[in-house]
Chains A and B, each alone.
Chain A
């Protein structure tokens, strides 16, 4: 499968999962699907490299990516978020396939640092990919971990940062801004790249360069919480989308249309 199609399929899976309850973290899937497609479909060596999902409410994207890669039974997706289901709306210790996840935000990078440090002690050729979201940057622990990782030159550690500018109370810029992200990470001595997070090719290039960096590396993926879909009203709360039957159909139609037109090229 082409990575572009994989990203679309991840979004369609997430839409199906979120539409079970009619509300949830669909915006996170629409902003991060390309990052997960590139990570899971191209960059990561499954069974070797480590994956840390810091913001647990992105679990829906992770589940979809795992299912599309054949690493998770597709039938489990339809139980997403239901009482007693294996696939919880916010990932937990029960979640299959994750090296580490957090629901309490801002903690994932520290854990990723610990994993990368253990690999260095054992002399293992493993990379640790930590997925973070920009809202988490408000938590001081992220910067404690960034400081430590740079001090120890943990070059096996790569962060992909979904910068969709969205948090619970609205745009991050209206709450307490985390910008300028690029110069902040650079000041913490990280290898920093800023890319269009919906551009598959740009993400692939960025991961390739990150692998060669002699320091921990962050890819700031600039994205939109509505995934640049016109079918979602701009006023909709992207952080926790509410879906009507009509909206679900409209999003689905737009995603399928995009897939057809890209396949026609």
Chain B
């Protein structure tokens, strides 16, 4: 089901999937906000120029136009960076898209600390913002396979969706047998002791952490939760019921995202102790992915440390196994 790291990468899985979908779906239109190549929508623009509208640096207006187009029967994809797609136009998304429950798919690229551009470009709170809106579905996919499948799934889903996507080289973590679902989370690795719950760019880190833990006699499960809202509480609770600890890992502030959603469910239904790995309650800075993920705790080692603290024997936690990676490959930090 999953490949071994380092993972091979592909380019523009979203952009290609969108074009393939648009060939079958004449109702589909795409809006941009001056980041066309960066959001892989240059493929759509060049294939369907009459259905592509570059609104420019005016996200509030873009969301309003998206709402109008959707009211008239279109399925609208609006792609820009996640920060601008959510923070800049929150009221517009709430009133022009979420409240009327319109068929608008907001695609936010460069999640969390995957942007080198500092706090202005780092969407560390986008999941939290979108998750609070009634009618909104929130998706944070882990790899190219999920990305392609998610494009089709969200287009078929009637109603607003926020889809968070990594920019650039996209790892291939799941093989072709993987089935992305808007309804169900997947147990990717089974295990008794601790459940590692990941979404988006942190799924690879949870898989690597589970591998290290298993070599040190801790049986770690990995639960893939690409759909943060609505949360598949059934799979979550059934996979956590017998575990001694649960750890969430997200490329996002620990407030309001995956960790919070899991905490709410476990608090209401009962469950083992929980630790949330993610960005603590602070803004980050500019830097490379490796630098920022290390500095702000979005690492395999951090997940291993938390698991060891909660369910491991006394003594220092093991060092996470190094994953050698060449220039084209992808590995978690």
Contact = CB atoms under 8 A, between A and B. Distances in A.
A73 interface: no
B167 interface: no
B72 A115 contact: yes
Contacts of B92: 107, 110, 141
A258 interface: no
A22 interface: no
Contacts of A141: 58, 60-61, 64, 92
B65 A111 contact: yes
Interface string B60-79: 11111111111111100000
Q: Quick one: which of B55, B65, B99 has the most chain A CB within 10 A?
A: B65
B22 to A, nearest CB: 13
A63 B74 CA distance: 29
Given A110-B61, A110-B65, A111-B68, A102 B55 contact: no
A183 to B, nearest CB: 22
Contacts of A102: 95-96
A69 B64 CA distance: 29
A243 to B, nearest CB: 30
Contacts of B66: 114
B53 A111 contact: no
Contacts of A117: 53, 65, 68-69
A102 B99 CA distance: 11
B91 A114 contact: no
A114 B56 contact: no
A107 B64 contact: yes
A104 B95 contact: yes
A121 B51 contact: yes
Contacts of B100: 93
Contacts of B68: 100, 110-118
Interface residues of A, number: 27
A103 interface: yes
Contacts of A114: 64-72
Nearest to B61: A144
A140 B89 CA distance: 12
Contacts of A104: 91, 95
A236 B263 CA distance: 53
B95 A107 contact: yes
A52 to B, nearest CB: 8
A102 B65 CA distance: 13
Contact of A118 (B63, B74, B96): B74
A32 B74 CA distance: 33
A111 B64 contact: yes
B326 interface: no
B247 interface: no
A172 B96 CA distance: 26
A103 B95 contact: yes
B156 to A, nearest CB: 20
B69 A100 contact: no
B319 to A, nearest CB: 52
A42 B112 CA distance: 54
B275 to A, nearest CB: 39
Interface in A85-101: 93, 99-100
A253 B65 CA distance: 44
A119 interface: yes
A110 B73 contact: no
Contacts of A111: 64-65, 67-68, 71, 96
A148 interface: yes
Given A117-B69, A147-B58, A148-B61, 18 more contacts: A99-B71, A103-B95, A104-B91, A107-B95, A111-B65, A113-B61, A113-B65, A114-B64, A114-B65, A114-B70, A114-B72, A118-B74, A122-B72, A141-B60, A141-B64, A145-B65, A148-B55, A152-B53
13 contacts: A104-B95, A107-B60, A107-B91, A110-B68, A114-B64, A114-B65, A114-B68, A115-B69, A115-B71, A117-B53, A118-B68, A118-B74, A145-B65
Interface of A: 93, 99-100, 102-104, 107, 109-119, 121-122, 140-141, 144-145, 147-148, 152
Enumerate the 6 nearest inter-chain pairs by beta-carbon distance, A residue then B residue, closest first: A114-B68, A110-B64, A118-B72, A144-B61, A144-B58, A114-B65
